Structure 1
Amino acid sequence: MTGSHPVGGAGRFAPSPSGDLHIGNIRSGLLSYVRARQTGRRFLWRIEDLDRVKAGAAESQLAVFAELGVTPDEPPLVQSERTGKYSAAIAKLAADGLVYECYCSRKDIAQAPSAPHAPPGAYPGTCRSLGEGERESARRRLEANNREPALRLRTDNRKHHIDDVVLGRVDALVDDLVLRRGDGVFAYNLTVVVDDAASGIDEILRGDDLASSAPRQAYLSRLLGEPEPGWVHVPLVLNEDGQRLAKRDGAVTYQQLRSLGWTVEDVFAWMQQSLGFGSDGPRWKSVDDMVDGVDFARMLSAPTVFVPPADS
């Protein structure tokens, strides 16, 4: 591996172990590693296994990156082993009067009148100011259907912003986001904030489809007394229809590409072309070449379309 290991900060890659990684996931993970090495940070790995999990997927994902020359600097953090930490974070927020029960279904939220200028999907505040009698009635209604209330964060319902290395200023409304779902699963926005703080993550690189959630996470970090990380949101890899790349789009996973004859060198050559550095010097053959060759100030800002190779 290239670069020094610092005393302090870190970057991370945090895939869900729901199956094999496609080439777009891999590009984001490699860029996270590259950014960490270029800036003297540790590179960490997190297994986000609170929801959909496929047996053996986490180990397979780590093995793919090892074959590409990348291993994390510390053992992976596993979210399913940290539920007590998430409960403690909610308890801290609740002690400050910032948590309330929500009894709404997705259908309820979709059908409720939205606040003026609120983006689609923003929580309309239905359960925010219910009286105790109304809450008790709603709890009984859920219990009759074997459901539990979700827990939401009481926010200021205002726009907040983050400053991103690639995108610049990103503004988004911070509505009353879910902290724990009605099925008991802790919500993404909570878990990533708690885990990033615990791991010393001070810069987050990920796909730009997640940029709109960054102001929410920065807001929640401040409420929990944690420092806000830096942000690097990179362009996505799309399919031929201009949609986010998915495993249904043909030979898009590392294993599929290898079975069609791609080598590790071919993977890095594609990374070089897709990021806009194809005319820069010699062809990339390894992750060290990628660390040396990526310039985030010059990287293509537009998404890349991946055309899967045909099975010959």
Structure 2
Amino acid sequence: MNSFTYARAVDSADAVRQGAAVNAKYLGGGTNLVDLMRETLERPSALVDVTGLSSAITEREDGSILIGAAAKNTAVAENKAVRTRYPLLARAILAGASGQIRNMATVGGNLLQRTRCPYFYDDEGSRCNKRVPGQGCDAIQGFNRIHAILGASSACVATHPSDMCVALAALGALVHITGSDGQRTIDFAELHVLPGENPEVETTLRPGELIIAVEIPALPFARHSVYRKVRDRASYAFALISVAAAIEIDSGVVKDVRLALGGVAHKPWRALKLEAALTGQPATDENFRAAADQELADAKPLTHNGFKIELAKRTIVAVLAELAGDLS
């Protein structure tokens, strides 16, 4: 049995002060952390409950939306401004987990949830560099149907499980952070890291830092956006491939496009090559496919997940064609 202390933070400064303790963990809804503690994969010495911090969802004068890290996933998905201006985010949240879990899970916790790789969870029979650095990765030669095809390394092929994060990556969200050195703001793309030789390092957060809010910049054409999740079953399954996309078309030509992929990498994968290839080009299925080919050109399949490459390309084309058709 792993003993730990529990305390409820009264504000972000108090949370950071308590979070400075050795091996302390911040507790939001607990929908991932508590599971990891049950499996003894996380053994915190202290839990700092941050559910009492800001859960406000605020529309700002510049057109952006600021979402407190303690906001529940359900509250974000049901928020009128989110549903109207960023429907891909609402759809991504509703595609994840069950209603009961969405009612508990917080935005900050969602950003920091850990992989669902079965080799990571199997601490008795499998090697995992994410769990024990330097141990090895049994997924590479094992059953790796759900694993990464982009950005993986010889140390880790796990994928990031979040649906919400894929939408936030496509939207170019900003993450507001506080810590003992003060507050800072980073681009969402800088929060999560690829595995390299240190897959146990999953984010760029410094020790004791706390996510306090997520900012979604004003993006008018995101009103026309979609999130599509391809999975083995329609209920409570993680993505094999997911696509979050928004597009702006003027006179049949792509003026701007944002697209991110889930289920393909150690982090939500912003499709920058695809976006660059499509901007300024006619919005046709042929161009959508060519851009998808460019984005997936560096994909490296494992023994059992090669199907993901073609599945990703077809899903990208289908999503963009749907959006383009709605605009025609």
Higher relative contact order (CA 8 A, sep 6+): 1
Q: TM-score, normalised by structure 1?
A: 0.23
Which structure: greater strand fraction? Answer: 2
Bigger Rg, structure 1 or 2: 1
